[in-house]
Amino acid sequence: MTNAKIYDIKPAIASNAHITQPIYQNMYQRSIAEPDVFWAEQATLFLNWQKPWHTVMDCDYSRGHIRWFEGGLLNVSENCLDRHLAERSDQVAIIWEGDDPTRDKKITYRELHQQVCQFANVLKAQGVSKGDCVCIYLPMIAEAAVVMLACTRIGSVHSIVFGGFSAEALKDRILDSNCQYVVCADIGYRGGKTTVIKANVDQAALGCPNLKSVIVIKNSDTDVAWFNGRDIWYHVAMQNASDHCPAVAMAAEDPLFILYTSGSTGKPKGVLHSTGGYLLYAAMTHKYVFDYHDGDIYWCTADIGWITGHSYMIYGPLCNGATTVLFEGVPTYPEADRFWRIIDKHQINIFYTAPTAIRALMAQGNDFVTRTNRSSLRILGSVGEPINPEAWEWYYHVVGDARCPVVDTWWQTETGGIMITPLPGAMALKPGSASLPFFGVKPEILDNQGNSLQGIAEGVLALSRSWPGQARSIYGDHQRFIDTYFKSYAGYYFTGDGVRRDEDGYYWITGRVDDVINVSGHRMGTAEIESALVLHTHVAEAAVVGYPHDIKGQGIYAFVTLNAGVQASEQLSKELVNLVRQEIGAIASPDIIQWTPALPKTRSGKIMRRILRKVAANELNGLGDTSTLADPSVVDNIIAHRVNK
């Protein structure tokens, strides 16, 4: 886009920034030319090592073999807590802001350290040891941070399951990662409503014979079903736990956590991250991308159930000794000014949220924003999906009063941390562009044949270099890791995103090129939703695609074929939505269900999703070549009955 608007670097930001334009150019060039030297320096700068590494990097994409800092020993909780105690034990580590605006609390580094040690001892007493997997299924309460860090202290591997996932989805994830331990709460609060947590665990547990114990955080006065011998109250166990717990020395490549994410096929994948490289990359990107300075109050609105919550609410900020905010609620409760009120209340300097929230708040009108002050803000961030220029401009002008750079950060669960992004003191901004690569990142634009295109170009986004935060495997299925990311284009990590590079070398992410859709920043595989729909006895076949949605970015459009003799009805439509909620969770509910006597298929029986995507997007003139369809009249029928919403 030649005419894209440009916002120049702000002198007030650049004058105090860690990374200015010449520093970026110099460091970027070095990070590509001498990666071993560059990353060794950064690893020394950002982390405390109990023992230094002998090899900085050992990677071979053809085997999905990715190793960083081998030989090195360190502990994540020690880096996030112990080493800060000398200088900042009384500094607030976590500001927790409740769903109810009258509830909040502050936890200092000393207190957090103490609670983490105690809970690490609770885990040990339950039999959890190094390498064991602990499933965390929690709402956004402060204890979530305690539990995560306690796992890292004793070398157990956490697998956080988003609190909005259903019992069924939870069960699948517990089984896939062989978790014998679950940490949950009784209930959660969101937007003035309660959400069931423990009841979902109880239901999931029916299908998890290996589950040994469930540790329950008391978050309400609600009574919950109790299974003696399996269930343990967190507060009771904590009372008797010692606050002395040595941090276990972990190898840099020991697993740190598993996080499930959706792909284009099959069941969700347990993306596996390891200790040293991940922590370095999270901390370094947190400092440079948000230009974090000592004393800043930093708020990332993501849920801990997603990678953004892992890297930029917990690990990156705490590793840098920051004060990080954990918000339990939603942007519109009690009113649509909640974010801005929280910013004023806690004097937040750096704010990181998702385009879907920005668009939803933009739709509520400017008054909710302008009646607040927001003068503490210095940097604004965006993540999760492409941000449309209109939302970007609103964020920049109305929320940030044209004072704060907006960093549009492109990355993925698999990348561990931010990959393509502006650095606030070093780059001019173009609304809608994720700008330029972070240190050590080498984006490549490939055509269908896998040729790397130079200059102004459009194609699929791949990365030719490894970086420390890169995922190491898919838990329990390394072959799937290789097949998913390293097979399509030999020698590259394939991202699944499309991208364009403009005349200034800026990158514009154009969205997924596979069957993954992005609904309100939540990544979902259309195949998972289809599998849920076809569980219904009346459904013969289903095909799900994304379509443009003003607030959510993409909505979910389901084409459903019923079994012969079954009548479509409003009731059946409700049953299908409920089925998806039960199998996956509310976030996967179809926005539109269109009944169709048949799906468009090739003669070999493959559903032509390209056509369904066009119909759902109402792009009826650009259906492309339909000559390979077995029965072209199917398309006419689908167009004639297209649902507009």
| CA dist., res. 433 & res. 352, Å (int) | 16
Residue 526 lies near ligand 6R9 (rule: CB under 6 A): no
Residues of each annotated binding site for ATP: 384-386, 408-413, 497, 512, 523
Residues facing residue 270 across a β-bridge: 260
Q: Which is nearer to ligand 6R9, 115 or 262 (CB)?
A: 262
Site string for ligand 6R9, 425-454 (x = CB under 6 A): ---------x--------------------
CA distance 439 to 34: 11
Identify the bridge partners of residue 493 per DSSP, sorted by sequence position.
463
Q: Is 281 in the site for ligand 6R9 (CB under 6 A)?
A: no
**Binding residue for ligand 6R9 (CB under 6 A) from 9, 19, 94, 307?**
307
H or E stretch at 148 = helix 143-154
Q: CB-wise, 513 or 568, nearer to ligand 6R9?
A: 513
310 near ligand 6R9, rule: CB under 6 A: no
User: Does the protein bind ligand 6R9 through residue 523 (CB under 6 A)?
Assistant: yes
Between 71 and 498, whose beta carbon lies closer to ligand 6R9? 498
Q: Within 10 Å of residue 101's Cβ, how many Cβ atoms?
A: 15
Nearer to ligand 6R9, 79 or 413 (CB): 413
**Region binding ligand 6R9 by CB under 6 A among candidate stretches 8-16, 190-198, 316-324, 383-391:** 383-391
- The pair of structure tokens assigned to 351 is 């704010």
- Which region, judged by CB under 6 A, interacts with ligand 6R9, from 53-61, 68-76, 249-257, 489-497? 489-497
Q: Is 338:329 a contact under the CB 8 Å cutoff?
A: yes
Mark 400-429 with x for binding to ligand 6R9 (rule: CB under 6 A) and - for no binding: --------xxxxxx----------------
Choose, by CB under 6 A, the member of 211, 314, 419, 509 that binds ligand 6R9: 509
Q: How far apart are CB 509 and ligand 6R9 at their closest, in Å?
A: 4
Cβ neighbours of 392 (radius 10 Å): 24
Rounded to a whole number of angstroms, the minimum distance from the CB of residue 461 to ligand 6R9 is 8
d(CA 387, CA 511): 10
Nearest to 285 by CA among 229, 352, 366, 333: 352
Q: What residue type is assigned to position 601 of the chain?
A: K
Q: Check: CB of residue 78 under 8 Å from CB of residue 87.
A: no
Among 74, 300, 383, 519, binds ligand 6R9 (CB under 6 A): 383
- The number of residues that bind ligand 6R9 (CB under 6 A) is 22
Output the smallest distance, CB 259 to ligand 6R9, in A: 9
Residue 378: partners with Cβ closer than 8 Å, 6 or more residues away? 13, 291, 296, 349, 350, 403, 404
Is the CB of 331 or the CB of 355 nearer to ligand 6R9?
355
Is 386 near ligand 6R9 (CB under 6 A)? yes
Of the pair 49, 411, the CB lying nearest ligand 6R9 is at: 411
Q: Give the count of alpha carbons within 13 A of 516, CB side only.
A: 26
Q: Which one of 213, 261, 285, 320 is in contact with ligand 6R9 (CB under 6 A)?
A: 261
| Closest distance to ligand 6R9 from the beta carbon of 343 (Å) | 21
Q: At what angle do helices 109-125 and 143-154 cross, to 10 degrees?
A: 60
Annotated binding-site positions for Mg(2+): 534, 536, 539
Annotated binding site: 190-193, 308, 384-386, 408-413, 497, 512, 520, 523, 534, 536, 539, 581
Question: Rounded to the nearest whole angstrom, what is the least distance from the CB of residue 416 to ligand 6R9 in the complex?
Answer: 10
Using the rule CB under 6 A, is 303 a contact of ligand 6R9? no
Task: Look at the chain and count its residues.
Answer: 645
Piece of 50-58, 384-392, 584-592, 608-616 that binds ligand 6R9 (CB under 6 A): 384-392
What does DSSP assign to residue 221?
Answer: S
Minimum CB distance to ligand 6R9, residue 513 (Å): 9
- Please name the helix (run of DSSP H) or strand (run of DSSP E) that holds residue 443, with its range, or none: strand 443-446
Cβ at position 362, least distance to ligand 6R9 in Å: 17
- Apex CA 25: angle with CA 21 and CA 29, to 5°? 165
> CA quadruple 587, 159, 96, 88: dihedral positive or negative?
negative
List, as one string, the DSSP characters of 509-524.
Answer: EEEESSSEEEETTEEE
> Of residues 31, 79, 484, 518, which one binds ligand 6R9 by CB under 6 A?
518
Dihedral pair phi/psi, residue 315, rounded to 5°:
-65, -50
**CA angle, corner 416, sides to 501 and 7, nearest 5?**
40
Residue 301 is a binding residue for ligand 6R9 (CB under 6 A): no
Say how many C-beta atoms besides its own lie within 10 A of residue 8's C-beta: 9
Select the residue interacting with ligand 6R9 from 328, 337, 497, 514 (CB under 6 A): 497
CB 645 → ligand 6R9: shortest distance, Å?
A: 23
C-alpha 434/C-alpha 621 separation (Å) is: 31
Using the rule CB under 6 A, give the single segment among 129-137, 279-287, 493-501, 624-632 that binds ligand 6R9. 493-501
Q: Is 467 in the site for ligand 6R9 (CB under 6 A)?
A: no
Q: How far is Cα 594 from Cα 56, in angstroms, rounded to an integer?
A: 53
Closest separation between CB of residue 19 and ligand 6R9, Å? 19
Of 261 and 349, nearer to ligand 6R9 (C-beta) is 261
Residue in 164, 139, 79 with CA at minimum distance from that of residue 326: 139
- Residue numbers in the known binding site for CoA are 190-193, 308, 520, 581
Judged by CB, which is closer to ligand 6R9: 275, or 308? 308
Q: Which lies closer to ligand 6R9 via its Cβ, residue 142 or residue 271?
A: 271
Give CA separation, 30 vs 8, 41, 58, 334, 445, in Å: 25, 11, 18, 49, 22
Angle at the Cα of 101 (from 95 to 106), degrees rounded to 5?
20
Pairing of strands 539-549, 553-562: antiparallel
Report d(CA 536, CA 542) in Å as an integer: 11
Which of 121, 177, 274, 308 binds ligand 6R9 (CB under 6 A)? It is 308
User: Residues interacting with ligand 6R9, by CB under 6 A?
Assistant: 261, 306-308, 383-386, 408-413, 434, 495-497, 509, 512, 518, 523
